[in-house]
């Protein structure tokens, strides 16, 4: 088995050029952040999972404009810098105003796992100070328990196909197992054990070596990372299965050691993935958090879909489109509308029932119809070869979705502040 050598680490060059180009078209953009720590970005294999913070006072029309502009920056840079298509794969998903990221009622534990790379110095200082002073809470524990529920258990082969990896594709199976599925579970469990959110993945592995049984497993993980996964025998059977089972055993024993640290659910050394997911699913859901979860991710989706629908040599977006289309109705239609109905009307209403109550009042008939048209346009998974066409069709009817969610957000804001004061 032959491996392409690890490329140079040019993530810093990437994010400086990228931020400058986005800011030139989006003047109210003030901060670029990304998930995890810089040391977690593995050249040739890692994407750059960015997040934007914009100035307060951004208008709805500016959000629409910025979405298209950022998508266009991704498209242009993918043509100009084909070596960076992996970095460009995910336009910023979660996007907030400065006021929102420092509002205690809108706090999300993930904020503490971001590295704030560049932007306005005052905004950066404000954000970092606020997050540094934020103490561990039940909300943080619930977040990390959800992460455990997502990543605990055996690796599911085929779950994470290698796309846009180039000559390093044959290393991706080990990268996927190590950094995409094993380490996030370790990171969540280390956070639960320490009662503080661990930002980085490598940081979590270093901590886990001292916190949990079987440190030799972590030593082998670091050996693979240090060698850029260039261990030919790891990809052959039965060694690959042995690695998967070793990781699964590690997670099970680490989880069992948390019995005294976890307060929101019961921890058992017999817990399976399904057991943990069932326990986590039974925890109450905060409807305000559920609503804003949708809004924060909705703001730049239209540009993302149009970027994915572009024909760019060497950029494979088919799986990305299918992934987006598989979740956006739940994220931007069902979940936020049901959460709004619970908050505003105190009832468990369907999305259509919520829209019917708002038609001609808070929302125009065109906005209500637009939400329904969006859900219909997404529809069933596209037929093979029709992915880009469907992405363009959904993007074409998307504006009323963001308009509606921003209107509902404005309507909930007084309730948000009353709950914060209480």
Task: Identify which has the larger pLDDT, 138 or 417.
Answer: 138
Residues in contact with 193: Cβ distance below 8 Å, sequence separation at least 6, in sequence order: 211, 212, 257, 258, 261
Q: Which two tokens stand for residue 352?
A: 């259509």
Q: How far apart are CA 300 and CA 92, in angstroms?
A: 7
DSSP secondary structure string, 263-292?
A: -SS---TT--HHHHHHHHHTS---HHHHHH
Do you find a cis peptide bond into 238, omega within 30 degrees of 0?
yes
Work out the average pLDDT over 274-284.
Answer: 97
Per-residue b or e along 221-257, where b marks 16 or more CB atoms closer than 10 Å to that residue's CB: beebbeebbbbeebeeeeebeebbebbbebbbebbeb
Please check whether residue 95 is in contact with residue 26, taking contact to mean a CB–CB distance below 8 angstroms.
no
From 163, 137, 390, select the one nearest 286 (Cα to Cα).
Answer: 137
Distance of CA 273 to the CA centre of its chain: 21
Residue carrying structure tokens 């951004």: 58
Per-residue b or e along 45-57, where b marks 16 or more CB atoms closer than 10 Å to that residue's CB: bbbbbbbbbbbee
Q: How many CA atoms lie within 13 A of 200 on its CB side?
A: 13
Q: How far apart are CA 407 and CA 162, in angstroms?
A: 39
Q: How far apart are CA 26 and CA 90, in angstroms?
A: 18
- The DSSP output letter for 115 is E
Please check whether residue 232 is in contact with residue 224, taking contact to mean a CB–CB distance below 8 angstroms.
no
In 180-259, DSSP assigns E strands to none
Work out the average pLDDT over 67-88.
Answer: 98
Q: Give residue-wise pLDDT tens across range 357-405.
A: 999 999 999 999 999 999 999 999 999 999 999 999 999 999 999 999 9
Q: Which two tokens stand for residue 422?
A: 């209480």
Q: Please provide residue 114's backbone torsions phi and psi, each rounded to the nearest 5 degrees.
A: -95, 145
Q: Give the per-residue pLDDT at 417.
A: 66
Taking 80 as the threshold, does the pLDDT of residue 418 lie above it? no
Q: How far apart are CA 235 and CA 245, in angstroms?
A: 14
Residues in contact with 413: Cβ distance below 8 Å, sequence separation at least 6, in sequence order: none
> Which residues lie across from 97 on neighbouring strands?
54
Taking 80 as the threshold, does the pLDDT of residue 420 lie above it? no
Distance of CA 243 to the CA centre of its chain: 27
- The DSSP output letter for 359 is B
Q: Give residue-wise pLDDT tens across range 107-128.
A: 999 999 999 999 999 999 999 9
Label the pairing between strands 50-54 and 95-97: parallel
Taking 90 as the threshold, does the pLDDT of residue 72 lie above it? yes
Q: Which two tokens stand for residue 238?
A: 């039965």
* DSSP-derived 3-state class of residue 221: helix
Residues in contact with 1: Cβ distance below 8 Å, sequence separation at least 6, in sequence order: 170, 232, 235
Q: How many CB atoms lie within 10 A of CB 270?
A: 7
- The reply to whether the predicted model has a pTM over 0.85 is yes
Q: How far apart are CA 370 and CA 377, in angstroms?
A: 10
Q: How many CB atoms lie within 10 A of CB 284?
A: 7
Q: Give the per-residue pLDDT at 415.
A: 84
User: Above pLDDT 90, what percent of the chain?
Assistant: 97
Q: Give residue-wise pLDDT tens across range 251-277.
A: 999 999 999 999 999 999 999 999 999
For the chain, give the mean pLDDT.
96
* DSSP-derived 3-state class of residue 363: strand
Work out the average pLDDT over 336-340.
Answer: 97
Q: Give the per-residue pLDDT at 422.
A: 45
Please check whether residue 379 is in contact with residue 397, taking contact to mean a CB–CB distance below 8 angstroms.
no
Between the CA of residue 105 and those of 102, 120, 127, 343, 354, what are the distances in Å?
9, 24, 15, 14, 23
Taking 50 as the threshold, does the pLDDT of residue 421 lie above it? no
- Quick one: pLDDT band at residue 206, thresholds 50, 70, 90? very high
From 372, 386, 381, select the one nearest 333 (Cα to Cα).
Answer: 372
Handedness of CA 100, 103, 109, 113 (dihedral sign): positive
Q: Give residue-wise pLDDT tens across range 8-67.
A: 999 999 999 999 999 999 999 999 999 999 999 999 999 999 999 999 999 999 999 999
Q: How far apart are CA 341 and CA 355, in angstroms?
A: 9
Q: Which of 38-42, 309-313, 331-335, 418-422 has the lowest mean pLDDT?
A: 418-422
């Amino acid at each position: 088995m032959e491996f392409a050598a690890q490329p140079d680490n040019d993530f810093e060059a990437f994010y400086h050029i990228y931020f400058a180009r986005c800011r030139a078209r989006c003047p109210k953009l003030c901060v670029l952040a990304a998930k995890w720590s810089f040391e977690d970005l593995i050249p040739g294999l890692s994407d750059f999972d960015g997040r934007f913070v914009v100035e307060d006072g951004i208008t709805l029309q500016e959000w629409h404009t910025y979405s298209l502009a950022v998508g266009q920056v991704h498209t242009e840079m993918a043509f100009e810098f084909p070596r960076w298509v992996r970095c460009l794969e995910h336009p910023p998903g979660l996007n907030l105003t400065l006021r929102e990221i420092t509002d205690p009622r809108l706090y999300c534990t993930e904020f503490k796992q971001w590295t704030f790379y560049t932007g306005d110095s005052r905004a950066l200082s404000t954000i970092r100070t606020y997050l540094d002073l934020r103490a561990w809470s039940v909300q943080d524990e619930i977040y990390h328990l959800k992460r455990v529920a997502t990543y605990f258990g055996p690796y599911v082969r085929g779950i994470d196909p290698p796309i846009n990896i180039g000559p390093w594709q044959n290393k991706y199976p080990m990268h996927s197992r190590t950094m995409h599925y094993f380490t996030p579970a370790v990171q969540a469990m280390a956070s639960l054990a320490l009662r503080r959110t661990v930002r980085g993945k490598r940081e979590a592995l270093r901590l886990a070596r001292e916190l949990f049984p079987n440190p030799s497993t972590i030593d082998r993980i670091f050996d693979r990372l240090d060698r850029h996964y260039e261990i030919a025998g790891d990809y052959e059977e039965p060694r690959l299965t042995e690695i998967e089972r070793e990781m699964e055993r590690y997670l099970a024993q680490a989880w069992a050691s948390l019995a005294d640290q976890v307060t929101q659910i019961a921890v058992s050394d017999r817990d399976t993935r399904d057991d943990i997911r069932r326990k986590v699913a039974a925890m109450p859901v905060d409807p305000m958090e559920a609503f804003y979860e949708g809004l924060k991710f909705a703001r730049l989706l239209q540009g993302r879909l149009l970027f994915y629908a572009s024909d760019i040599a060497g950029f494979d977006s088919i799986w990305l489109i299918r992934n987006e289309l598989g979740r956006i109705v739940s994220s931007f239609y069902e979940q936020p509308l049901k959460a709004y109905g619970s908050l505003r009307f105190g009832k468990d209403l369907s999305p259509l029932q919520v829209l019917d109550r708002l038609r001609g009042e808070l929302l125009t008939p065109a906005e209500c119809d637009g939400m329904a048209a969006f859900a219909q346009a997404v529809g069933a998974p596209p037929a093979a070869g029709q992915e880009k066409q469907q992405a363009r069709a959904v993007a074409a009817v998307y504006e009323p979705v963001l308009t509606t969610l921003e209107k509902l957000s404005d309507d909930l804001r007084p309730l948000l502040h009353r709950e914060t004061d209480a």
